[in-house]
A and B are shown apart, each in its own frame.
Chain A
Amino acid sequence: MNFVTFDASYVSKLRTGDAPTEQHFITYFSELILLKLRSRLRSPELIDDVKQETFSRALSLIRSEGGLRDAERLGPLVNSICNNVLMEQYRSSNRVEPLEDETAERLVETRPNALTTVISDDTGKLVRHVLNGLNERDRTLLQAVFLEERDKDEVCTELGVDRDYLRVLLHRAKASFRVMYSKQVDAKKSGWVFG
């Protein structure tokens, strides 16, 4: 698992237009922006527009004189710019409700999106493995919430659990998936190097 540290060197490379660093920057924050926007925008085109505009403004700001003083604030800067662009998008769409009044739960994007479409067969197998490792009730709970998108309180009541149980269940399933995913990635890397 690669944990990224955004330091002065990283920001300096972004300023000078270092292609690998810029590519990493876009890849890393693209996924976060997608996850952030899909609960707020329904249209994939709008999501893409906001994402592109966010990167454009972020890179311009970073490359401007005195644009980013503290390298560790790179992430919050991207988030802040994304919020602004999103707000402008809402305004241009004549939305009068401020972002804060829209709960994420009401706006969760349920259709297959960019992330869904890139899910590989291997990832699908891992998820099947994780789901098969759960008992019937837990499997039903996750599928009812994420696949059938049923009301969470209703499903929890039906299955005799509470919302905390649902969070812990998701945490455990996610952790299992993460471990298997990491092993798979490591195996592929070693196979690529030595194979």
Chain B
Amino acid sequence: MNHQEALQEMAVERYLLGELSGASLDSFEEHLFECSECAMDVKMGGTFVDAVRTEGSVPRTVAAPRVESARRWTSWFTSPWFLAPALAACLLALCFQTFVLQPRMRQELVQVQAPSVLNPLVLANAGARGDSVPEMVAPKHGSFVISVDVPATGGFSSYLCSLYAPDGSLLWQTTVSPEQARDALLINFPTSKAKEGLNIFLIQGLPAAGSANGTLVDLARYRFRVTIQK
């Protein structure tokens, strides 16, 4: 075999593909060892083929495993076993909100916005002597009004009004100026902040600056019972 024949017969490619055998193999190899051009071609082809094998057997450096693992993790959320109960739960919550919560809130809003007659619980002198305890029946959703007189005692710069729950905890507190204290105080109190039972309304006077004693002085202590309407 000469070089021209080798080219025509694509002997190098056949050799690399293992297609030559017998006499044709011997003939080409004899030529291969004397033809530097074919030798170079075969060497280059051999390197290419080996590199294809090596490249193919070596895992690519792309982040395929990470993608695979991420897909496996997120696939848990998209599996029917998770999606079906999740959708059912969402539907249930939507129904509860639409048919129970919203009508109730709407009703409460209407009640709050509607004009109504308030019967304040008048605490002036009530329970001061401890002989009777007035009772306030408070609406469940809404508020109640307390009317209280601040004892007309001079010499205080302001008055501290505090409401204590039956367990003794402070429910509410505010400061009243002497001007406000001239008339009866009307305090609107939300039922949600109140506690059922015997409550105590305490009025204390804060002595004016320059007085000898700066501590609060108890002026009145009113007791009243709160009952929340069922």
Nearest A residue to B34, CB-CB: A75
Interface flags, B17-43, vs A, CB<8A=1, else 0: 111111101100110111111011111
- Cβ–Cβ < 8 Å partners of A113 in chain B: 50
Interface flags, A110-128, vs B, CB<8A=1, else 0: 1011011001000110111
- Cβ–Cβ < 8 Å partners of B30 in chain A: 76, 79-80
Question: A115, B10: Cβ atoms under 8 Å?
Answer: no
- Cβ–Cβ < 8 Å partners of B33 in chain A: 29, 32, 75-76, 78-79
Tell me, yes or no, whether B44 is within 8 Å of chain A by CB.
Answer: yes
Nearest A residue to B45, CB-CB: A174
Which among B23, B42, B48, B52 is the interface contact of A35 at CB below 8 angstroms?
A: B42
List the one stretch of A12-20, A59-67, A89-97, A140-148 in contact with chain B.
Answer: A140-148
Tell me, yes or no, whether A166 is within 8 Å of chain B by CB.
Answer: yes
- Cβ–Cβ < 8 Å partners of B52 in chain A: 127, 131, 142-143, 146-147
Question: B51, A174: Cβ atoms under 8 Å?
Answer: no
CA distance A115 to B46 in the complex (A): 8
Question: A115, B50: Cβ atoms under 8 Å?
Answer: yes
Question: B39, A32: Cβ atoms under 8 Å?
Answer: yes
- Cβ–Cβ < 8 Å partners of A42 in chain B: none
- Cβ–Cβ < 8 Å partners of B72 in chain A: none
Q: A76-B33, A131-B55 are in contact. Are A177 and B39 (CB under 8 A)?
A: no
CA distance A165 to B121 in the complex (A): 104
Question: B41, A79: Cβ atoms under 8 Å?
Answer: no
Which among A28, A29, A123, A170 is the interface contact of B17 at CB below 8 angstroms?
A: A170
Tell me, yes or no, whether B193 is within 8 Å of chain A by CB.
Answer: no
CA distance A6 to B34 in the complex (A): 8
Which among B13, B29, B51, B57 is the interface contact of A171 at CB below 8 angstroms?
A: B13
Q: A100-B22, A123-B47, A174-B41 are in contact. Are A112 and B54 (CB under 8 A)?
A: yes
CA distance A80 to B33 in the complex (A): 10
Tell me, yes or no, whether A73 is within 8 Å of chain B by CB.
Answer: yes
CA distance A167 to B17 in the complex (A): 8
Main secondary structure of the interface of B (DSSP, over half): helix
- Cβ–Cβ < 8 Å partners of A104 in chain B: 15, 18-21, 25
- Cβ–Cβ < 8 Å partners of A78 in chain B: 33
- Cβ–Cβ < 8 Å partners of A45 in chain B: none
Nearest B residue to A147, CB-CB: B56
Minimum CB–CB distance for A18 against chain B, Å: 19
- Cβ–Cβ < 8 Å partners of A102 in chain B: 21
Question: B49, A146: Cβ atoms under 8 Å?
Answer: yes
Q: A32-B39, A152-B17 are in contact. Are A130 and B48 (CB under 8 A)?
A: yes
Q: A32-B42, A128-B55, A143-B56 are in contact. Are A73 and B37 (CB under 8 A)?
A: no
Minimum CB–CB distance for B74 against chain A, Å: 29
Minimum CB–CB distance for A8 against chain B, Å: 15
CA distance A113 to B54 in the complex (A): 10
Minimum CB–CB distance for B37 against chain A, Å: 6
Nearest B residue to A144, CB-CB: B56
Give residues of chain B (111-162) contacting chain A, Cβ–Cβ below 8 Å: none
Tell me, yes or no, whether A9 is within 8 Å of chain B by CB.
Answer: no
Give residues of chain A (6-57) contacting chain B, Cβ–Cβ below 8 Å: 6, 28-29, 31-32, 35-36, 39
The list of the 7 closest CB pairs from A to B, nearest first, reads A75-B33, A147-B56, A75-B34, A103-B21, A79-B33, A127-B51, A105-B18
Q: List 25 A-B contacts (CB under 8 A).
A: A32-B32, A72-B34, A74-B34, A83-B26, A100-B22, A103-B18, A103-B21, A104-B21, A105-B18, A115-B50, A116-B53, A119-B47, A119-B51, A127-B52, A131-B55, A146-B49, A147-B56, A167-B10, A167-B14, A168-B10, A170-B17, A173-B48, A177-B44, A177-B48, A178-B44
